[in-house]
Amino acid sequence: MAKKKQAPFVAAVPAPVITYWTEQVQGAVGRKAFFVDTAAILESLAPNDSEFGQFFDELVGERLVTSTYVVAETVSRMVKSKPRQFVGPGGEQNFALALYFVRRWLIDRNVVVLCVPDFIFEYAKEHFAGIEHVGCDLVDTLSYVIVRGLGQERIISRDTHFQQLGLMCYPRAS
């Protein structure tokens, strides 16, 4: 029997959540926000990458956004990576690459790093409880909540579960 595709779970959106996103869209983040996921950042620093690094270099007029959760997850994966799994432009690896990422990569690309308030995290936890069928972890669920909160339907990521949740993943396959 074929497994039936389930629609994404949508937790009830409390008023403080709506107010927070309205302020973010009208404030520093803006309407053209383009969320950057861990997978895209790491892929752009993989030695054999031919897609993500160029995609980031060619973005013009887009406001890149990520979260403190994505930054922490990315740094953790860099520090614990295998030799030459991820490499910076100056040959940085592991801890040195993580320092490059937080000190240069984010700044050079003008990435806004959101530190979401507790009530957004609580909302993401409720959403996480309803999407077990997708296979997202909590950081990915929070990224999804941020993308939707910013009124977007796109994300810079290779993770296919974002597509299962209705987001368009970039860069698009050519």
CATH number at residue 112: 3.40.50.1010
Report if residue 1 sits inside a domain. no
Using one digit for the tens of pLDDT, what is the confidence trace for 49-68?
A: 989 999 998 887 788 999 99
Q: What is the 8-class DSSP label of residue 104?
A: I
Report if residue 6 sits inside a domain. no
Q: What is the 8-class DSSP label of residue 5?
A: P
CA distance 120 to 21: 10
Number of domains within the chain: 1
Report if residue 174 sits inside a domain. no
Report if residue 155 sits inside a domain. yes
- The answer to whether the CB of 140 falls within 8 A of the CB of 164 is no
Report if residue 4 sits inside a domain. no
Using one digit for the tens of pLDDT, what is the confidence trace for 12-33?
A: 666 777 777 777 655 666 667 8
Using one digit for the tens of pLDDT, what is the confidence trace for 108-144?
A: 999 999 888 888 888 889 888 888 888 889 999 999 9
Quote the pTM value.
Answer: 0.84
Report if residue 134 sits inside a domain. yes
